[in-house]
């Protein structure tokens, strides 16, 4: 059983907190305790069956939550290159607990359906906020479902950096759900927001903007991917405890928005310079249900290793 993880939310309330026996305190939690004049090493300990969030006990990896490893190819690969990837992945036939999802450029979706059948689900890298209509250049959920897509990435950091707002992300999440797609909702902070200690505030705001108002039963259809925007494509990642801290925070926010059952069934992934070298450590973190993989997903051999680590 994984050791309980204590986050900043868990120790921010009034009174002296009692920590679960064997608990791991995240760096943010330690900082909060020190600011309150409390020494983490001297706090009382009590047995606890599972990690704790501000919303109450939550299983480290909820049994109902899907495990997914998502390949985001961004603007790479022609149709011929995509088919070569599918052939190589089929030869390797990776075995792991996670479902593979491949999100190629729109141009490769039709061609990849048959060779990926049984190996991976298809996903799109974006989806229109409109169901259809006079929206030149937009690709609607119904068009993607027709091509065999099950997932669509929404609110990726690169699109947010290009001007995509929380309001537009919210509209896209709802359009995807209406059209039969499961959105992969990306949330995460910039470098300046991280330096300013605003990571949890930013992530909370993004989650509320996208999920607030959805029926609790619908919320687990939304896969949440935490991707620190400062780590994308940089070859760097937060420390494992920092990642686990934010993943626990995400699940706590979902709990407050939609209830414990929805939070337990929602897949929370990590994305941000995931590679075959660090996948096992990241995917083994408490509460991590998979990964959103960028550059390392372009090579079938590396992607297969990440799948096997999951």
Catalytic residues: 156, 227
- Residue 131, Cα to own-chain centre: how many angstroms? 25
CB-based burial of residue 263 (10 Å sphere; 0-12 exposed, 13-18 middle, 19+ buried)? buried
- The count of other CB atoms within 10 Å of the CB of residue 196 is 12
CB-based burial of residue 256 (10 Å sphere; 0-12 exposed, 13-18 middle, 19+ buried)? middle
- In sequence order, the 6+-apart residues with CB closer than 8 A to the CB of 260 are 55, 56, 58
CB 265 within 8 A of CB 289: no
CB 72 within 8 A of CB 154: no
CB 289 within 8 A of CB 269: yes
């Amino acid at each position: 059983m994984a050791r309980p993880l204590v986050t900043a939310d868990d120790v921010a309330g009034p009174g002296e907190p009692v920590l679960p026996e064997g608990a791991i305190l995240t760096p943010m939690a330690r900082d909060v305790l020190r600011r309150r004049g409390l020494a983490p090493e001297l706090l009382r300990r009590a047995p606890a069956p599972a990690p704790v969030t501000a919303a109450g006990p939550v299983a480290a990896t909820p049994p109902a939550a899907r495990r997914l490893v998502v390949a985001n190819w961004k603007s790479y690969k022609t149709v011929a290159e995509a088919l070569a990837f599918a052939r190589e992945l089929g030869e390797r036939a990776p075995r792991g607990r996670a479902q593979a999802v491949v999100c190629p450029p729109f141009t490769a979706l039709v061609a990849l359906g048959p060779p990926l059948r049984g190996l991976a689900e298809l996903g799109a890298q974006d989806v229109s906020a409109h169901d259809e209509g006079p929206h030149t250049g937009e690709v609607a959920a119904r068009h993607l479902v027709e091509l065999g897509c099950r997932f669509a990435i929404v609110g990726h950091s690169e699109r947010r950096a290009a001007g995509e707002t929380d309001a537009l992300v919210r509209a896209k999440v709802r359009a995807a759900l209406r059209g039969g797609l499961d959105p992969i909702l990306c949330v995460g902070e910039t470098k300046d927001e991280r330096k300013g200690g605003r990571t949890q505030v930013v992530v909370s705001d993004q989650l509320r903007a996208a999920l607030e108002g959805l029926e609790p039963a619908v919320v687990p259809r939304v896969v949440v991917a935490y991707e620190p925007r400062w780590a994308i494509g940089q070859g760097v990642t937060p420390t494992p405890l920092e990642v686990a801290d934010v993943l626990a925070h995400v699940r706590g926010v979902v709990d407050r928005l939609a209830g414990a059952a929805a939070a337990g069934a929602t897949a929370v992934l990590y994305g941000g310079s995931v590679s075959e070298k660090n996948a096992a450590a990241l995917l083994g973190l408490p509460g991590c249900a998979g990964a959103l993989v960028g550059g390392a997903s372009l090579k079938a051999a590396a992607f297969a290793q990440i799948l096997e680590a999951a």
